[in-house]
Every structure is written in structure tokens, then in C-alpha cells.
Amino acid sequence: MKLGYHRVSSASQSLQIGREALLAAGVEEKFLFEEKESGKATKNRPQLKALLKSLRKGDEVIVHKLDRLARNAKDLLTIAEEISKAGASLNILDLGINTGTPVGKMILTVLGAVGELERAYINDRTKAGIKAYQKNGGKMGPKRLAVDRKIKVLAKGGLSWSEIADEVGCSKQTVYRRLHPQKADEHREADLERYYRDKNSEIS
């Protein structure tokens, strides 16, 4: 049986394009799992969880694009492993990856190796950043290891915003706000000013 999964990040986005691609790939409409949720965490996607629980041996999970299913290699491999444990396969249309084929399995194996290497690299940089911070007189402890402090420590260690966000478990916007609080306040004031200006224009 073919089951399709499609997701968009916000209520204002349309599911239509992905839906059409899945129907064209042979998924019946009653077997479409669709949702308007952030892809940040699997646990926040009830339709994805429902799809994974419904899988049976021989099923094929089809997705329109990789980023509709997973945010990164780690997420992809976790989801792919759950699909594999159920005896099903994964077909990612935009990449032409189908884990039901030897080539598809090989590509996932390579992605897994790359993801593992990337995590090891981030961990090394994190440790180096903390050591550099401590060497320069910085103090760390349970009470002082708040999110904003950890972000600053990792930034001093040379990690990118994306790497810091993954390590801390927050958004890139949060990282930006912690590292550039003054600019973040300026942006918020500008947004509020624009909002009330638009509101006043509607009233008048």
C-alpha cells in the first residue's frame, strides 16, 4: 500500500502542490497524511506519528520533498529507521531516493555516516568553545548555564547559528536575539510600528 505524507509550516501555506504530486505518484486520497505544522520536532507532528503507527510490512511511504519530511540528516535517518522497522520503504520523490532499492539503501547509509560525522564535529567544536571560554576566565555551573549564556559560549567557540540552534534546541531567531539583543529590540519596535500604522490605515 502507498501512503503519502505532506507538510507545510504555517496555516497560510497551501498543501495543494504536494498533494497533487503524491496523488500523481499513485497515493489514494484516503491514504494522504497532511498537516500544517513546524518540522522542528517529530513529536509535534500528529499526522506523521499516525502514519508511522499505521505502517504494515510491504507499505511504501511517499513524500514530495525531503524538507517536508525532515529538517536534517539526523531527522531523516530517525524517521527512515522507524519506517524500516515496520517492514516498509521510503520514497522521496524530489531526490529519487527509494529505500526499497539497493541504491536507495546505500544513499541512506551514506547520509547516516555524514550525519554522524557532522554531530561529532559539532561536539568537538562545542567542547573547544567551552574550554576557550573557561580559559579566558569564564565561569560555568548549573545555575549559570542558562540558554543565553550557552549560546554565547558556543558562538565564541566558532559555531554557526544553525549549529548553535541544534545544540541548544532552539530556533536560529532565538540565537540571533541572544547574540544581538539591541538589534532584536530595534526589529521588534519597527514591526510593532508597522503593525499599528497598518491598523490605523485600515480604520481610516
To the query of whether residue 38 is one of the catalytic residues in this protein, the response is no
Contact (Cβ atoms closer than 8 angstroms) between residue 176 and residue 184: yes
Name 137's bridge partners: none
C-beta atoms surrounding 185 within 10 Å: 11
The widest CA-to-CA distance across the chain, in whole angstroms, is 65
Task: Considering the candidates 9, 38, 162, 171, report the single residue annotated as catalytic.
Answer: 9
Taking the C-alpha atoms of residue 138 and residue 37, their distance in angstroms, rounded to an integer, is 39
Q: Which three cell numbers stand for residue 114?
A: 555524514
Element (H or E) spanning 2, and its range? strand 2-8
Q: Across the beta sheet with 2-8, what order do the strands follow?
A: 32-36, 2-8, 60-63, 89-92, 97-98
Instruction: Catalogue the active-site residues.
Output: 9
